[in-house]
Amino acid sequence: MREYLVTFHKVVSDDTGHERRVLQQQAVVAAPCPVSALTMAKALFCETAGIVDWRLRADICEVVVLTERAA
């Protein structure tokens, strides 16, 4: 299994009208593939934030492979 870092960001406009990404949450999850890691991280984000849909608090989510773990 691999470890993945999943990050959630909210896109906001600053006072000059430029958009920037604000980190909402990060999670390191062990999963067999990036899709599974994303699904697990979304569920964890919702549970932690007490919401039913991660898109209520974030606009973007990204998955990055960290390491491959021995089975």
The tokens for 12 are: 């906001």
Q: Which CATH number fits domain 2-68: 3.30.1370, 1.10.287, 3.10.20, 3.40.50?
A: 3.10.20
Domain positions in the chain = 2-68
Q: How confident is the model at residue 71 (pLDDT cuts 50, 70, 90)?
A: low
Q: How confident is the model at residue 23 (pLDDT cuts 50, 70, 90)?
A: very high
- Structure confidence at residue 1 (pLDDT): 85
**Nearest C-alpha neighbor of 41 from the set 28, 22, 59, 55:** 28
Largest CA-CA distance found in the chain, in angstroms, rounded: 50
How are strands ordered across the β-sheet holding 2-13? 19-31, 2-13, 60-68
- Structure confidence at residue 21 (pLDDT): 94
**Nearest C-alpha neighbor of 34 from the set 57, 5, 14:** 5
Query: Up-side HSE of residue 26: CA atoms within 13 Å toward CB?
Result: 8
- Mean pLDDT computed over 10-32: 94
For the entire predicted model, the pTM comes to: 0.86
